[in-house]
C-alpha cells in the first residue's frame, strides 16, 4: 500500500521547524530534483542533517544547483526567503554571483573552500547593508561517485566583524592621539628597554627617527651614563613607577652633536602583561627647560623686589628723619614729607607701568615738573632722546628732580614768570665709559646765592644717582642755578 | 681723641641718615658713594679708624673688595660690613671685620661703631705704606 510506504520513506524530512514544513509541503514534482522519495540517499542524508541542525546550512543540488536550506539560513536570505527554496543558486544570489559563483564552481569541481570572513553587500528589508560570513563549501558525491551537489555551512559574523572594526578604529584613534600628543611618549619593551613605540614628539626630542627596535643603550648611551639606565632597570624590576620633576638632563643634539642642558619632567610607568608581570615601561617626557628658566627668573625678580622694598623703607625712614631734623615748624615738615614721599610714589607708579620694571627718563622728568609746569606759562624746555632706565636710578632721579623743582619754585627760575628752565640730557662718556649726562639749567629768575647751610636737598643733589658711579656739579651762579649729573650709563640702565 | 669714621653707601639718603646719626654721637664722619671714593678719603684722612661699608655698590669694587684693600693698605682701620641681600660669612671678610645685617637699628649700628672707634684709637693709627 502506497499509504504505508510514503510516511516511512519521508522520515528524513521530519522536524526542521518552518523549513522542514515548507520542504514537506512543497510540490517537488515539477522541480529538477523530483519528488523527495526519489532523491538519492546522499541528498536525503544531507537534508536530514541540515534540518536537524541549528547552524545555518544550505544544499545546492544537481546541475541546476537547486537550493534547499534550513531555519538557520533563512535570515541570511532575508526577503528572498521563502521564495529561494527550490530555486537555482545563481538566481537566488544573482546580486552577488560574481563573488560567490567561483566558490560554488570550485565545489562542483571537487575543491572545498573555507572562508573566514566574506563581505557581502546584501539587500535586506529594501536596504543595502554590509554583511560578513564565514563559509564552508563542501562538494558532495552521489552513488555513482560523481559530484552531484554542494553542502554549505555558513555563519553570519557581521556583528563580530563590526565590533572588531570599531575596536580597530578605536586603537587607531588612540594611536593618532598618542602620536599628536605634545609630550614625548615611548614604550620600552623588555629588560633591555627596546623602543616599541615612539611618537613624533619623542623623535623630535631625541633628534632621530630610527629608534624603533633599538635599545635605549644604542640610541642614548649618554643618558645611561647620567643614571637614567639604572632608573629604568629599577622601574622594570620593582614595578614601581618613577616620577621625575625638574630633573636636569644633558642632551646631545643628533644633528649638531652639541651638548645642551635641559630640565625635564618625566614619568617611567611600568606596563604589565596579562599575567601581571612587568614587560615594558611607558615613558612620557616633557621638556620643562623654558618653564624652569621662567620660574628661576621669577624667583630672582621676587628677591630683587624684596630687597628693593627693604631698601625703600630705609629711604622713607631717611626722608622722614632728615625732614624732621632740627625743624620747629611741624606743619611745614609734614608738607615736605608728603611731597617727597609723593615724588617717590609717582616714580614707583611709572616703574610698575613700564615694561620689566623700567621707567622712561622723560616720564620721570615730566612727573617731577608737572605740579609746577602750569602748561605753557613757564618756559620749560625738556630735550633728549628718551631711554628706559633701571628702577634704582629712576627712584633716585625722581627724588633729585623733585628737590630741584621745589627749590626752583621757591627761590629759582620757576618763582617768577620771567624765568625759564632747560632740562636736557644725552649719552656721552665719563672716564672712558658710557655715561648719562643730565643738565638742569635755570635762567632769568631772581639772583642766586649759595645757601649758607647744607640741607637735605643739597646733600641729595650732591649724592647723585643711587647705584651709579657719578660726578655731580652744582653751581649757584648769580644768573641761575645749574646742576649737572654724569652717571655711569650701565649702572643707570641696570635692573639691580 | 676718638678716631674718625668713614661711611661708604651708595644710597645718599641712607648715607645721610647714618652720617647724621654718628655725627650726633660726637664722631667725626666722612662719607663716600663708591669704594674708589672711599680709598681717596682714607688716603686724604689718616685719622679715619673705622670704615662702615655696604656690600652692594656700583663701580669696579664692591664693599667686600674694599674691605680687603682696607685690611691690606690700612691694617689698623676697623671694618664693619653691612648688606641687605645676604648674610656675609666671616670667611668672606678680612679677619676681625664685623657683619651687620640690613635693616639694622641705628642704636646698634652707632654702638658698634663707637666701640670700634674707641678700639681703633687705642690700637694707634700708623699707616703701612700707601
- DSSP state at residue A30: G
CB A466 within 8 A of CB A393: yes
Which of A301, A313, A315 minimizes the C-alpha distance to A358? A301
Span B8-22, pLDDT tens digits:
999 999 999 999 999
Average pLDDT, chain A: 88
Q: Which pLDDT band, with edges at 50, 70 and 90, does A16 fall under?
A: confident
Contact residues on chain A for B11, CB-CB shorter than 8 A: 311, 314-315, 396, 466-467
Point out the least confidently predicted range of A43-57, A86-100, A361-375: A361-375
Interface touch B58/A322, C-beta < 8 Å? no
Q: How far apart are CA A272 and CA A249, in angstroms?
A: 28
Contact residues on chain B for A488, CB-CB shorter than 8 A: 58-59
What percent of chain A clears pLDDT 90, i.e. is strictly above it? Answer: 51
Mutate to test the interface with B, among A309, A325, A469 (most CBs of B within 10 A): A469
**Kind plus residue range of the DSSP H or E element containing A431:** none
Give residues with Cβ within 8 angstroms of B51, minimum separation 6.
Answer: B5, B6, B8, B38, B42, B66, B67, B70, B77, B78, B79, B80
Contact residues on chain A for B103, CB-CB shorter than 8 A: 310, 313-314
Contact residues on chain A for B14, CB-CB shorter than 8 A: 311, 314-315, 318
Report whether pLDDT(A227) > 90.
no
Interface touch A307/B17, C-beta < 8 Å? no
Q: How many CB pairs under 8 A join A and B?
A: 67
Residue B53 confidence (pLDDT): 97
Contact residues on chain A for B17, CB-CB shorter than 8 A: 314, 317-318, 321-322
State ipTM. Answer: 0.84
- Grid coordinates representing A208 are 632621530
Which of A44, A42, A61 minimizes the C-alpha distance to A9? A44
Helix H, strand E, coil C: the string for chain B is CCCEEEEECCCHHHHHHHHHHHHHCCCCEEEECCHHHHHHHHHHCCCEEEEEEECCCCCCCCHHHHHHHHHHHCCCCEEEEEECCCCCCHHHCCCCCEEEECCCCHHHHHHHHHHHHHHHHHHCCCCCCC
CB B79 within 8 A of CB B3: no
Residue A62 confidence (pLDDT): 94
Residue A270 confidence (pLDDT): 96
CB A277 within 8 A of CB A190: no
Give residues with Cβ within 8 angstroms of A65, minimum separation 6.
Answer: A88, A89, A90, A104, A108, A149, A150
Residue B129 confidence (pLDDT): 40
Interface touch A469/B56, C-beta < 8 Å? no
What percent of chain A clears pLDDT 70, i.e. is strictly above it? Answer: 95
**Inter-helix orientation angle A391-411/A456-463, to 10°:** 140
- Strand ranges for A332-462 from DSSP E: 359-360, 379-383, 388-389, 420-430, 433-443
Report the residue from B20, B58, B102 with minimal CB separation from A468: B58
Task: Please list the residues that pair with A388 across neighbouring strands.
Answer: A360
Q: Is the peptide bond before A393 cis (omega within 30 degrees of 0)?
A: no
Q: Which pLDDT band, with edges at 50, 70 and 90, does B124 fall under?
A: very low
Give residues with Cβ within 8 angstroms of A364, minimum separation 6.
Answer: A347, A350, A389, A394, A397, A398, A401
Residues of B with CB under 8 A from a CB of A: 10-17, 20, 33-34, 36, 56, 58-59, 84-85, 102-103
Report whether pLDDT(A427) > 90.
yes
Point out the least confidently predicted range of A50-59, A164-173, A346-355: A346-355
Span B28-55, pLDDT tens digits:
999 999 999 999 999 999 999 999 999 9
Q: Which pLDDT band, with edges at 50, 70 and 90, does A304 fall under?
A: confident
Residue pointed to by grid coordinates 643738565: A439
B12: closest chain A residue by CA: A463
Span A143-197, pLDDT tens digits:
888 999 999 998 888 889 889 999 999 989 988 888 888 889 999 999 999 999 8
Report the residue from A310, A325, A469 with minimal CB separation from B102: A310
Average pLDDT over residues A195-213: 88
Q: Which pLDDT band, with edges at 50, 70 and 90, does B120 fall under?
A: confident
Tally the residues of chain B: 130
Contact residues on chain A for B59, CB-CB shorter than 8 A: 469, 488
Q: Which pLDDT band, with edges at 50, 70 and 90, does B2 fall under?
A: confident
Point out the least confidently predicted range of A93-102, A113-122, A487-496: A113-122
Residue pointed to by grid coordinates 626722608: A319
Interface touch A496/B34, C-beta < 8 Å? no
Q: How far apart are CA B84 and CA A228, in angstroms?
A: 41
Residue A254 confidence (pLDDT): 65
Interface touch A469/B85, C-beta < 8 Å? no
Interface touch A321/B36, C-beta < 8 Å? no
Interface touch B58/A469, C-beta < 8 Å? yes
Distance from the A261 Cα atom to the nearest Cα atom in chain B, whole angstroms: 28
Residue A183 confidence (pLDDT): 86
Q: How far apart are CA A314 and CA A309, in angstroms?
A: 9
- Grid coordinates representing B120 are 681703633
Average pLDDT over residues A420-437: 90
**Kind plus residue range of the DSSP H or E element containing A309:** helix A289-324
Calculate Rg over the CA atoms of chain A. Answer: 49
Q: How far apart are CA A66 and CA A427, in angstroms?
A: 108
Q: Which pLDDT band, with edges at 50, 70 and 90, does B121 fall under?
A: low
Q: How far apart are CA A364 and CA A356, in angstroms?
A: 16
Point out the least confidently predicted range of A140-149, A200-209, B18-27, B74-83: A200-209
Average pLDDT over residues A111-132: 81
Report the residue from B16, B33, B84 with minimal CB separation from A311: B84
Report the residue from B14, B20, B102 with minimal CB separation from A325: B20
Q: Which pLDDT band, with edges at 50, 70 and 90, does A6 fall under?
A: very low
Mutate to test the interface with B, among A463, A474, A485 (most CBs of B within 10 A): A463
Contact residues on chain B for A311, CB-CB shorter than 8 A: 11, 14, 84, 102
Q: Tell me how crowded residue B23 is: count the other CB atoms within 10 A of its CB.
A: 12
Q: Tell me how crowded residue A9 is: count the other CB atoms within 10 A of its CB.
A: 14
Interface touch A467/B59, C-beta < 8 Å? no
CB A463 within 8 A of CB B33: yes
Amino acid at each position: 500500500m502506497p499509504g504505508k510506504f510514503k510516511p516511512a520513506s519521508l522520515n528524513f524530512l521530519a522536524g526542521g521547524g518552518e523549513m522542514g514544513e515548507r520542504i514537506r509541503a512543497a510540490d517537488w514534482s515539477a522541480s529538477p530534483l523530483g519528488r523527495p522519495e526519489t532523491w538519492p540517499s546522499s541528498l536525503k542524508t544531507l537534508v536530514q542533517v541540515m534540518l536537524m541542525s541549528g547552524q545555518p546550512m544550505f544544499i545546492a543540488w544537481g546541475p541546476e544547483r537547486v537550493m534547499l536550506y534550513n531555519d538557520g539560513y533563512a535570515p541570511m536570505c532575508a526577503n528572498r526567503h521563502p521564495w529561494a527554496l527550490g530555486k537555482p543558486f545563481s538566481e537566488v544570489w544573482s546580486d552577488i554571483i560574481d563573488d560567490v559563483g567561483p566558490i560554488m564552481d570550485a565545489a562542483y569541481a571537487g575543491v572545498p573552500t573555507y572562508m573566514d570572513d566574506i563581505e557581502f553587500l546584501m539587500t535586506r528589508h529594501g536596504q543595502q547593508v554590509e554583511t560578513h560570513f564565514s563559509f564552508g563549501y563542501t562538494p558532495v558525491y552521489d552513488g555513482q561517485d560523481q559530484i552531484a551537489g554542494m553542502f554549505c555551512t555558513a555563519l553570519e559574523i557581521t556583528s563580530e566583524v563590526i565590533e572588531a572594526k570599531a575596536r580597530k578604529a578605536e586603537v587607531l584613534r588612540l594611536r593618532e592621539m598618542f602620536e599628536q600628543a605634545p609630550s614625548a611618549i615611548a614604550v620600552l619593551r623588555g629588560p633591555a628597554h627596546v623602543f616599541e613605540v615612539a611618537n613624533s614628539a619623542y623623535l623630535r626630542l631625541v633628534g632621530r627617527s630610527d629608534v624603533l627596535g633599538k635599545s635605549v643603550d644604542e640610541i642614548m648611551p649618554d643618558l645611561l651614563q647620567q643614571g637614567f639606565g639604572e632608573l629604568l632597570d629599577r622601574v622594570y624590576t620593582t614595578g614601581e613607577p618613577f616620577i621625575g620633576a625638574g630633573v636636569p638632563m644633558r642632551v646631545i643634539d643628533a644633528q649638531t652633536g652639541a651638548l645642551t642642558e635641559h630640565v625635564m619632567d618625566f614619568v617611567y610607568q611600568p606596563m604589565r602583561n596579562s599575567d601581571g608581570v612587568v614587560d615594558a615601561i611607558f615613558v612620557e617626557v616633557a621638556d620643562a627647560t623654558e618653564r624652569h628658566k621662567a620660574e628661576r627668573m621669577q624667583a630672582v625678580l621676587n628677591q630683587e623686589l624684596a630687597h628693593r622694598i627693604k631698601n625703600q623703607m630705609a629711604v622713607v625712614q631717611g626722608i622722614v628723619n632728615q625732614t624732621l631734623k632740627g625743624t620747629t615748624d611741624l606743619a611745614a615738615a609734614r608738607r615736605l614729607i608728603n611731597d617727597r614721599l609723593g615724588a617717590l610714589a609717582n616714580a614707583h607708579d611709572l616703574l610698575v607701568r613700564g615694561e620689566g620694571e623700567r621707567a622712561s627718563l622723560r616720564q620721570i622728568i615730566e612727573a617731577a615738573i608737572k605740579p609746577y609746569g602750569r602748561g605753557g606759562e613757564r618756559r620749560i624746555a625738556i630735550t633728549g632722546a628718551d631711554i628706559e632706565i633701571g628702577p634704582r636710578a629712576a627712584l633716585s632721579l625722581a627724588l633729585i628732580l623733585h628737590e630741584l623743582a621745589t627749590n626752583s619754585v621757591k627761590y629759582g627760575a620757576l618763582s617768577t614768570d620771567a624765568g625759564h628752565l632747560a632740562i636736557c640730557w644725552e649719552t656721552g662718556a665719563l672716564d672712558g665709559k658710557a655715561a648719562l649726562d643730565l643738565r638742569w639749567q635755570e635762567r632769568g629768575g631772581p639772583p642766586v646765592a649759595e645757601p649758607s647751610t647744607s640741607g637735605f636737598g643739597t646733600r641729595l643733589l650732591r649724592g647723585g644717582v643711587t647705584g651709579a658711579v657719578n660726578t655731580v656739579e652744582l653751581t649757584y651762579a648769580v644768573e641761575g642755578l645749574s646742576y649737572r649729573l654724569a652717571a655711569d650709563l650701565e649702572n643707570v640702565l641696570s635692573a639691580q | 681723641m676718638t678716631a674718625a669714621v668713614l661711611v661708604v653707601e651708595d644710597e645718599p639718603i641712607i648715607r645721610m641718615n647714618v652720617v647724621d646719626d654718628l655725627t650726633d654721637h660726637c664722631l667725626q664722619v666722612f662719607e663716600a658713594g663708591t669704594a674708589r671714593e672711599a680709598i681717596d678719603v682714607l688716603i686724604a684722612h689718616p685719622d679715619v679708624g673705622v670704615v662702615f661699608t655696604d656690600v652692594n655698590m656700583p663701580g669696579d669694587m664692591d664693599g667686600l673688595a674694599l674691605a680687603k684693600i682696607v685690611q691690606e693698605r690700612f691694617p689698623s682701620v676697623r671694618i664693619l660690613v653691612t648688606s641687605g641681600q645676604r648674610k656675609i660669612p666671616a670667611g668672606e671678610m678680612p679677619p676681625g671685620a664685623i657683619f651687620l645685617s640690613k635693616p639694622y637699628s641705628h642704636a646698634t649700628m652707632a654702638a658698634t661703631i663707637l666701640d670700634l672707634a674707641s678700639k681703633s684709637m687705642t690700637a694707634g693709627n700708623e699707616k703701612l705704606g700707601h
